[in-house]
Structure 1
Amino acid sequence: MTVDAAPGRSRIRRFVGRQPVGALFTAPYLVFLALVVAYPLGLAVWISFHDYFFTAPGVPVDRPFVGLDNYRAVLTDPATRRAFVNIGIFLVINVPLTTLLSLVLATALNAAIPFRTLFRTAFFLPYVTASVAVVGVWLWLFSSNGLVNALLGPLAPEPSWLVNRHLAMPLVALFVTWKQLGFFVLLYLAALQSVPRELYETAGVDGAGRLRTFWNVTVPGVRPATTLVVILATVTGANLFTEPYLLTGGGGPDGASASPVLIIYQRGIQQGEPDFAAALGVLLMVLVLGISMINRRLIERE
């Protein structure tokens, strides 16, 4: 009896680890992931291969398998292609700007400067402020009769910022950079604490200036944080929705600031085409994963 029970206990230990209590504590989170992440993701993939539409609860309907038809519809849709171009413009502006500004500001705020706590709070405040509130401020600043155009006078763009198809998406990218900057500054501030002070002292003894010390000591020292910042900025940027929805009235002008997630909302919820929206969501997920992996390889490469 004892001999038979030993292999069973060994298999259980391999499954739950040496401390079964740890598995017990992680079980609620695993259930949460299964219900909130794994199941919706699997359902979205299934919907993307079927002719799916919303019905009343409990009504049996036939949802035939359509193969790659939904993906073909996504790839041939002009509005969707424009949305991917828009998000590409957004990422080209937002990700490098976010990474550079947050690292520079974190380095400055990590030094012994007057009112350092006040500056840290000021940079983090937009991140924790409701998007609707700060969007209202930017609408007041960049509307046709806003403060920025009043200051620029005859130099103000025509059409104005948020209704200009060339300036709408860059302005959205600047807004998102400004709003999320405080969060990434905190990430870099935490990473800077792990950079040995001896490296800075050695650089000073060798006669390195501030710029050279920043490039040769700070930048390599926070490389893991840079990887995280770039990946997070890419993921959040690719899932852009709130800002164009509020700032430009739902992707205007004429789709110049529409994002793929906004198209998912419009086609899936407003127009009742969940199969199209699911296919677009799967393609967006694969694209974001690919970009994130490429960024990680490029940043962490020696």
Structure 2
Amino acid sequence: MTTLRDAESRSKGWGTARSAPPPGRGDRRPTQRRRRLQRILGEHPLGLLLSAPYTAFVVIVFLVPFGFGVWMAFHDFFFTAPGVAVPHPFVGLDNFRQVVDDASVRQAFGNLLVFLVVNLPLTVVLALLLATGLDAVVHWKGFFRVSYYIPYVTASVATLAVWIFMFNGNGVVNRLLGDLAPDPTWLANQHLIMPLIAVYVTWKNLGFYVLLFLAGLQAVPQELHEAAKVDGAGAWRRFRTVTLPGVRPVTSLVVLLSIIMTGQIFTEPYLLTGGGPNGASMTPALLMYQKGIQQGKPDVAAAIGMILVLAVMILSLVSRRLTERRS
């Protein structure tokens, strides 16, 4: 039989077990805090410290001006003399209404669409073909890489001067074409000036995209090409079934970069035609310069910039979704 003393000792033991905290509960909070801090800082917190200067650069040079541009787009803002305090009332969507009702803005975005239709297919097709040919070259590969890349690193002012010399009324191209030369000439033709600018930008930036595709081609396993050869696949079939799927991520990147670059077109129409003839080569970036600097309407220019950013983001998301579906 259980004695009274045994019962008392058992009851004391149960009481001690209930009152004592479970093992490890006191250490849970520091562990959770440590995990939460590691989730925020990452596995290597020193990387945040090393990237802090560049992060500060991005914030100061990009995010702060972008935020100020958003603020200007919704206010009646204009330039004043230094030290002069002038109220800038909130106007809501008035600046955006002016932009939508302006025919020159619609024309500028239409020109940008023409540029994109010409530039994007040319960039992807030519860069991929040149990279494929360069990947098959055994000798002088470094020479060809540098040759493709030279226009990309050359100043636009210098290369545009050459193109003006080639495509003006008495230029080399018109002399070669003879009676087939367009009238009016290239730089004064409303229908040809934007495609001509698109061809120039394609030629200038082609070397950069060739190197991207070349890196993607070298990442495709050689065993896939050898297996296709064993199965009797010809060069075109290997290109279609092995090369194209292998460089699909690079193709998506090239399309994305081309779309972003399209929204930044400014130097080429500014130096070639100044936006003419009759606004045929006007772009949103160049129109922002004219509205904000020359006409003194930075609030309207900021509204154009916000619409441009939104359009580029939408096109980028659509291209990415299409690429993901194909993948």
TM-score of the two chains, using structure 1 as the length reference: 0.95
Q: What's the counterpart of residue 316 of structure 2?
A: 292
Post-superposition offset of 1:149? 0.6
SS at match of 1:253: coil
Structure 1: runs of 5+ lacking an equivalent = none
d(CA) in 2 for partners of 1:69 and 1:213?
56
1:115 aligns with 2:102: no
Give 1:144's match in structure 2, choosing from 169, 184, 187: 169
Summarize deviations over 1:82-134 as a string: whole Å, max 9, x none: 00000000000001110010001001000134432222211111001111111
Q: What's the counterpart of residue 277 of structure 2?
A: 253
Q: What's the counterpart of residue 45 of structure 2?
A: 20
Summarize deviations over 1:6-64 as a string: whole Å, max 9, x none: 47666544432343322211211221121111111111111000000011222111101
d(CA) in 2 for partners of 1:29 and 1:295?
29
Give the conservation status (yes or no) of the 8 Å contact 1:91–1:238.
no
Give 1:62's match in structure 2, choosing from 81, 87, 91: 87
Please say which of residues 29-38 and 87-96 is displaced more in the overlay.
29-38
Give the conservation status (yes or no) of the 8 Å contact 1:127–1:181.
yes
d(CA) in 1 for partners of 2:179 and 2:153?
36
Q: What's the counterpart of residue 222 of structure 1?
A: 247
- Alignment size in residue pairs: 300
TM-score of the two chains, using structure 2 as the length reference: 0.88
Instruction: Give the structure with higher Rg (CA).
Output: 2
Summarize deviations over 1:179-222 as a string: whole Å, max 9, x none: 00000000011111110001111111111111111111111101
SS at match of 2:90: coil
1:106–1:3 CA distance, 2 compared to 1 (3 A): same
- Paired amino acid for 2:179: P
d(CA) in 1 for partners of 2:239 and 2:82?
60
- Paired amino acid for 1:22: G
Please say which of residues 221-230 and 104-113 is displaced more in the overlay.
104-113
Q: What's the counterpart of residue 68 of structure 2?
A: 43
Please say which of residues 252-261 and 111-120 is displaced more in the overlay.
111-120
Q: How does 1:132-211 map to 2 (within 5 A)?
A: 132-211=157-236
Give the conservation status (yes or no) of the 8 Å contact 1:93–1:170.
yes
- Paired amino acid for 1:294: V
Q: Percent identity?
A: 55
d(CA) in 2 for partners of 1:13 and 1:279?
41
d(CA) in 1 for partners of 2:303 and 2:253?
28
SS at match of 1:64: coil
Q: What's the counterpart of residue 273 of structure 1?
A: 297
d(CA) in 2 for partners of 1:252 and 1:112?
43
1:72 aligns with 2:69: no
Q: What CA RMSD, in Å, does the superposition of the two structures yield over aligned residues?
A: 1.7
